[in-house]
Amino acid sequence: MSEEQDMAGGANEAADVTHSGFVALIGPTNAGKSTLVNRLVGAKVSIVSHKVQTTRAIVRGIAIHNNAQIVFMDTPGIFKPRRRLDRAMVTSAWGGAKDADLIMLLIDSERGLRGDAEAILEGLKEVKQPKILVLNKIDRVKREDLLALAAAANEKIAFDHTFMISAENGSGCTDVMDFLASTLPEGPWYYPEDQISDLPMRQLAAEITREKLFLRLHQELPYSSHVETEKWEERKDGSVRIEQVIYVQRDSQKKIALGKGGETIKAISSASRRELSEILEQQVHLFLFVKVRENWGDDPERFREMGLDFPH
C-alpha cells in the first residue's frame, strides 16, 4: 500500500468516528436556556416565555453537528425554592447536571452574577464533570463588562472554556457546537438521526399550550397552572383531535383563563393549534377545557405527569 493510500485510509477512519453525549444546560431562571436549546437543536423542543421557571422538568433536545450527536438537557432554572413544586424543579436541575457528560452554565450578561447565579457557582464546585461557561445576551452589554464578568466567574470556578453568545440571534453558537462536537466522548449515537427530542408528542402538545397560556396571561395567572393532554385521536381524514385540560387552583383563576365571553381561551387555543399544526404537519382540532383542582401542587400524580419526583 502506498503512503498516500495509507493516509487516505486513516482519514476515512477518522471521519467515521462518531461522538455522542449529554450536555446539561443549567443556570438561573430566565437566563435564556430554552431559547438556546431551541437555537442549537434548530427546532422548537422547549417552551419559552417571559415568566420565570417556565421549564419544569428536564427536556432533552437532540442536535447533530459534524460527526457528533449532542443531547442537550434543558433543566429548570435554579432558584431559591419556596414551595414543593419549586423544590422538585431545583432537584431535577441539579440531578440533570450530575447525570451529564458536560455541564454548560448559562449566565445572563445583563444580570451578571447577582442573585441565584452566585449560589449556582457555589453548587457547581461539588460537581465533578467538565464545565463550560456561556455568557448570553452579549449584544446588550459592553465588551469590557463581558470580559470582567467572564473573569469574575472563572475566579470562582476554573471553567474549561468560556463562550460569549446571543441565543436570540445565534451569534457565537457555532463555536459552542464545534467545541461540544469535538469534546464529547467517542461512541455511537443514542437516538435516530431524525429525532430532535425525547419528549412524547402528547406532552410536547401540553407544553405548547402552557406556553401560549403564559404568553397571554403573563401577569394575571400564577405559573402554577398546569396543562394535560387527555385525548389524542388520529382521524381517518389525516387530521388529529386533541383534548387538553388546563388545571388551575381557584375559581377566580378559571375566570381569568376563560376570559370575557370565552375570548381568552379561544385566543390561547388558536395560537396553540397553529403551532401544533406546523409541528405535526397535519390539521389539528384542539379543544381546551379549564378545571379547578385545588392544591394540585401537592398531588404526586401531577408531578409524575410533569416528569418530576415528588418531594416529601
The answer to the question of whether 139 is labelled as a binding residue is yes
The answer to the question of whether 76 is labelled as a binding residue is yes
CB atoms within 10 A of CB 99: 12
The answer to the question of whether 33 is labelled as a binding residue is yes
The answer to the question of whether 30 is labelled as a binding residue is yes
The answer to the question of whether 238 is labelled as a binding residue is no
The answer to the question of whether 192 is labelled as a binding residue is no
Residues 258 and 255: their CA atoms lie apart, in Å, by 5
The answer to the question of whether 208 is labelled as a binding residue is no
8 Å CB contact between 27 and 49: no
The answer to the question of whether 74 is labelled as a binding residue is yes
The answer to the question of whether 28 is labelled as a binding residue is yes
β-pair type (59-65, 68-74): antiparallel
- Reported as type and span, the H/E element at residue 209 is helix 201-216
Burial of 299 by CB count in 10 Å (0-12 exposed, 13-18 middle, 19+ buried)? Answer: middle
The answer to the question of whether 98 is labelled as a binding residue is no
8 Å CB contact between 229 and 203: yes
The answer to the question of whether 169 is labelled as a binding residue is no
The answer to the question of whether 91 is labelled as a binding residue is no
The answer to the question of whether 27 is labelled as a binding residue is yes
The answer to the question of whether 137 is labelled as a binding residue is yes
- Reported as type and span, the H/E element at residue 124 is helix 116-124
The answer to the question of whether 103 is labelled as a binding residue is no
- Residues at the binding site for GTP are 27-34, 74-78, 136-139
Residues annotated in the binding site, as ranges? 27-34, 74-78, 136-139
